Structure 1
Amino acid sequence: MSGDTITTPHQLSFAPSRAARELGLKRGDLDLAVHLGLIRTVPDEGGGGRRVLRSEVERLRSGAGFPESLLERVKVTGTTEGAELMQMPPGRFTRLARLGLVVPVKWYLNRYRAVVWLYLAEELQQVAADEKNTPLLKARRTPEGLRAILAAGVDLRPRNWRGRHRGFLLRQADDPWERAGALAAFLDPVQIAEIVPDPYERSHLNRFRPGPPASGAPGSPAAHIAEKLMTADDPDEISLLRADLTAVLDEARKKRPAPRPTTSRAPAPAHPAHIGAPRPEEPEPSRGLLSWLRRRTVRTAAP
């Protein structure tokens, strides 16, 4: 018998929490690094979810400036710190974020259930350093046209965040049904029912439809806010999602049709003694009952 050690797939990879410890990251930092494509993951064939290969951890740990270089790339800031990085008042920073100049990478709900948007510090520094943005960043007042857009209530932060999160989900998808689920995650059930009228196919699609990345208990106010942020509400955004979902569903159906229950039922096997024998006729219940009543009447009337 050989004395060689058998290495299992789980010994060649780490669960996300263990990978975070190995890399000196908080679990949220690791999730963000995966989201950004900085850390590659593989499907966990044993229990679902994702895992990080040991070789990937070793690659990151051998990088120049580790771990500070990795921590800098996943550092996030809120509005106040982001405004300081870009050397502007917080109010101007918020207006520029609403206009889409800076794009949030994640969000959370504070104790008042208000949405707090977070931005990559590295990206904010890049935007501030780009000379093309100088007139907008340093102007004493927001240009008239942009002020009119803001006055109309435009806020691109939710849509821009959805775009980033959609890209993350699609990168993690390994087959057409998973890609379809990633796209369906941003459409409300009414839109999905219109695109996928077949109930069995829609049920199969929903198996691959992820929920919001942060939410409270089902039905809670926090869960409702998370669902609203996750759901596309701009007509152009909805139109693009519907077109993409329709195309990916066509691909998914060709590769692996959605399962559905069988409608035919096999006949019960005949008893060997009855094979080839004529099937006796069953008496009609009404005729049998009348015969019984007649016989009973005759017996009762007899002397």
Structure 2
Amino acid sequence: MSGNTITHKVTAVGERIGTTRDASVTRHRAARELGLRRSEFELAVQLGRVRTVPDDAGGGPRVPRDEIDRIRAADGFPEALRTGVRTVGTTEGAALMDVTTGRFTRLARLGLLVPVKFYVNRYRAVVWLYLAEELRQFSTDERNSALLRGRTPEGLRDQLREGLDLRPRNWRGRHLGFLLRQADDPWARAAAVASLLDPAEISDVVTDPYERSHLRRFRPELAMHSSPGSPAAQLADEIATATDPDEIDWLRSDLAAAVETARGHRPAPRPTPRAGPALPDPEPAPRGATEPAPRGMTELVRPGAEDLSPPEKERPRWLSGLLGRLRRGDS
């Protein structure tokens, strides 16, 4: 291959990367141009309201310039975009729905209101956050009037008395959807499912240690502001880990299927066997030499056989002549 051809290929790759980066911006800059705080922008990406693309140069995801132009040209920008990613806690959410905080909490524990985020405050209490837009839609739906104004049905009250709380599970289901939407690799999709399972469950489903190690490379980090290993981080990990038997079962099933798909797409890397030192070829044995008898076979050799001289006809001619002269000299 000529040097001109190699130069052409390197230049073409460089131009393609440059063009991709020129046609997109970093997430930080995109958030600034869209008038969103960082947390609002990240939620907009998770909800699929802002599209990102991989960075060909190996950096983090970027936002295409035409995506920013599309959002800015939409009706109601920027208020509509901010409204779509606004989150509220229990107190503000209850006020928005015009219900008591107690009723709001009961609706959330029953799984009727699904949290979109959570954090652990300085008192180690879990604070659930909800999309204000979804709460508004729930409160204006006439089918929910009895739940908002009437007495909670007896069956639901019994479940609440028994400790039912579907907020962690509903958050996990929603969070998994966010992760799968952003995963651009089969192994990343499998790692997203694995991130909600206890390590023992993962080892039981994925028995190959190299595949488990590959999954850990793609494992998404839980975005928390607490330091690793702190009580708040441990509590967050507990929330992010499935505990209900039926939830664990379907996650295990999904993980097995996702790993099977990823394995077919690209097997997990394995270490290359290290080649040992080359052994020299054995030297050829001298003509007439015999190999030593194996251990345990020496009893098959006749006693005194080593003292027997070879027959006269098998001796070399020069040896027979030498022996004859020696005998004549002795006589």
Counterparts of 1:9-158 in structure 2, within 5 Å, are: 9-139=20-150, 141-158=151-168
String of CA shifts for 1:45-78, please: whole Å, max 9, x gaps. Answer: 3234311111101100111111001011011111
Q: 1:184 aligns with which of 194, 207, 211?
A: 194
Paired amino acid for 2:35: G
* 1:194-253 CA-partner distances (Å, limit 9, x unpaired): 011111111011111112222522211121011111101111111110001101111111
Q: Distance in 2 between matches of 1:119 and 1:72?
A: 12
Deviations 1:112-168 (A, max 9, x none): 1211101111000100111111111111x3221111100111100011011111001
TM-score, length of structure 2 as denominator length: 0.78
Residue 224 of structure 2 corresponds to 214
- 2:169 matches 1:159: yes
Specify the code of the residue in structure 2 equivalent to 1:109: V
Partner Cα separation in structure 2 for residue 218 and residue 79 of structure 1:
27
For 2:269, which of 259, 262, 273 is the aligned residue? 259
Root-mean-square deviation over aligned CA pairs: 1.8
Query: Paired residue for 1:296?
Result: none
C-alpha deviation, 1:266, in angstroms: 5.0
CA distance in 2, matches of 1:191, 1:215: 27
1:189 and 1:48 map into 2 onto residues whose CA distance is 29
Give the distance between the partners of 2:109 and 2:90, measured in 1 at CA.
12
Q: 1: distance between equivalents of 2:59 and 2:169?
A: 29
Alignment gaps of 5+ in structure 1? 1-5, 280-303
State how far apart, in whole Å, the 2-side matches of 1:245 and 1:237 are. 12
Aligned to 1:42, the other structure's residue is in SS state coil
Rg (Cα) greater in structure: 2
Aligned residues: 270
Q: Does 1:230 align with 2:230?
A: no
Deviates more, 1:110-119 or 1:209-218: 209-218
Larger mean CA deviation between 11-20 and 25-34 belongs to: 11-20
Secondary structure at the residue paired with 1:117? strand
Name stretches of at least 5 consecutive residues in structure 2 with no aligned partner: 1-14, 286-331
Partner secondary structure for residue 34 of structure 1 = helix
Answer yes or no: is the 8 Å Cα contact 1:215–1:222 preserved in 2.
Answer: no
The equivalent of 2:308 in structure 1 is none
Between the aligned partners of 2:282 and 2:267, the Cα distance in structure 1 is 42
Letter in 1 for 2:188: E
- The alpha carbon displacement at 1:269 in A equals 7.7
Tell me how far apart the structure 1 counterparts of residues 59 and 196 of structure 2 sit (CA, whole Å): 22
In structure 1, the residue matched to 2:178 is: 168
Please give the alpha-carbon distance, in whole angstroms, between the structure 2 residues aligned to 1:278 and 1:205. 53
Q: Is residue 248 of structure 1 aligned with residue 249 of structure 2?
A: no
Alpha-carbon contact 1:215-1:226 (below 8 Å) kept: no
Amino acid at match of 1:94: T
- TM-score normalized by the length of structure 1: 0.85
* CA distance in structure 2 between the aligned counterparts of 1:99 and 1:178, rounded to whole angstroms: 32
Shift of 1:278: 5.2
**CA drift at 1:263:** 3.1
